A and B are shown apart, each in its own frame.
Chain A
């Protein structure tokens, strides 16, 4: 597998704070890679290091085969949207893009193309100060696309967007990924990018908790059955019954949560009755991908 991003032991400290802690990362060529983690997880710092905007405290990294300590060697091949989209507010969107097109030596016709791609062609003459946040995000993506890059690194591109805007950006990312580009996109909400991502990197407190295909993360989804005895005083006894039967379980908020496939609900009910417990409720459930993500990141916090 060809890696377009390869990092080894990448670490960045700001004073006493370790924002990125010794991460190893391999990103395959093509498709959409979601970097997901809560706010402050180290996503933005990682992207900034990969873009060469800040130097790592230690470790090494390569983007498109070039060291991240020499970003000029790959800057032409990477488009980026870093943090909040930044523009000169008192000039038009077109003037902002044209200014960047000149800097990147991109033909002028490309300015119209990227504005068309992000759906801003009709508003290109408006001052950026008159734009909504969603329009600014799209303008930021337009600038990132200017040089027709092999790779895009987009830091929280759906920030501040309404649901329709999130869907639009997600579709655009998917399409760009399908065209053969590598699109690295960060978000603090898994739900915002799970539909578009082929590959996920879950990061928390500067450390990578999971990296792999979305399917691999889906395999970690758990099914469980929540059971409540008629009387709360019966919870320990009911838990003991299932534990003796070999089930993994935990007790949460007056509910015995048994790790089991919903198909086993009848058997769990029978076990309860045979041991003298009448159930007040029995609810078969399954974790969503978001639950897996939260469980994964919560476990790390607890650790």
Chain B
């Protein structure tokens, strides 16, 4: 198969064109094309830059608030963590888990819903009719970016924590004991929580196919609906709602919900979101 060149120079522009060499037949290797293709789109500044910027910004903010406001008796953001304990190093990052989750929800939802609002999903599905493969590729790419993003946010927080502690006169003597393990486990827990928020964002976006509706719905639920439900439902029941469960995962477990249970329930929510979004994407008419 040969090809020709289109020019605006004149109506006989094609006759003199030389044929270009035939392109080699596409090869499918390991099925990673969907992930790499999605990663290429996510690497744009408007997404990767904003996403990483937000995570870093909130990491700095929550770390500062944890040490400066949380250290004051009766302060509004008083930390529940003893900042002089070994967990003091990670307290700021851990405090930001829910906010990081909201950022992930919004970004994952935007990355998904924009495929519909721009019509790009039609192009994708025509090129790769195996929709589960496309969907999996998107999830893997988003997971990759988010893991990198939370890692950077964690490093920023862990780097700032000693400085902020010094400024507030908080002893960091106990921080060095098992610091690496504490930092890694905290990052892992927060990241798992954030990833769960992300897949919930994908599910909402796949169902609504609207960036605004997905973000408003997801964030509104977390910030408003779950809070309102807490006013009318039994407190023990609220422990098992997504917001509470994922906060517990990020914190490595809380008094009302052990880490193992929180992780199991959180995985259940994430799995449900993944399956719902996948089924909707696989079965829905994406051309309408």
Interface residues, chain A, with chain B CB atoms under 8 Å away: 48, 51-54, 71-72, 75-76, 78, 80, 82-84, 86-91, 95, 98-100, 102-107, 110, 113-114, 116-119, 138, 143, 145-150, 164, 167-168, 171-172, 174-176, 179-181
Known contacts A75-B129, A84-B119, A172-B14; decide if A103 and B23 are in contact (CB<8 Å). no
Residues of B within 8 A of A83 (CB): 119, 122, 287
B43, closest chain A residue (CB): A95
- Would B118 and A51 count as touching, CB distance under 8 A? no
7 closest cross-chain pairs (CB), A and B: A86-B119, A103-B37, A148-B23, A105-B26, A71-B129, A102-B37, A72-B129
Residue of B4, B8, B38, B44 near A117 (CB, 8 A) is B4
How many residues does chain B have at the interface if contact means C-beta atoms less than 8 Å apart? Answer: 48
Which residues on A sit within 8 Å (CB–CB) of B127?
75, 100, 103-104
Q: Please give, as numbers and ranges, the residues of chain B lying within 8 Å of A48 by CB-CB distance.
A: 287
Q: A90-B46, A100-B37 are in contact. Are A117 and B3 (CB under 8 A)?
A: yes
User: Is B33's CB within 8 Å of the partner chain A?
Assistant: yes
- Contact of A175 with B1 in the complex, beta carbons under 8 Å: no
Contact flags B121-133 to A (C-beta < 8 A → 1, else 0): 1111111111000
Q: Are B23 and A106 closer than 8 Å at their CB atoms?
A: yes
14 example contacts (A-B, Cβ-Cβ < 8 A) are as follows: A51-B126, A87-B118, A88-B44, A91-B46, A102-B36, A103-B127, A113-B23, A116-B20, A148-B1, A148-B3, A148-B23, A150-B1, A171-B13, A179-B4
Asked if A171 meets B11 with Cβ closer than 8 Å, knowing A75-B128, A100-B37, the reply is: yes
Measured CB to CB, the residues of B under 8 A from A are: 1-8, 11, 13-14, 17, 19-20, 22-29, 33-34, 36-38, 40-41, 44, 46, 114, 118-130, 285-287
Rounded to whole angstroms, the CA-CA distance of A86 and B41 in the bound complex is: 14
Whether B130 contacts A72 by the Cβ 8 Å rule is: yes
Is B6's CB under 8 angstroms from A53's CB? no
- Partner among B5, B20, B27, B41 whose Cβ is within 8 Å of the Cβ of A105: B27
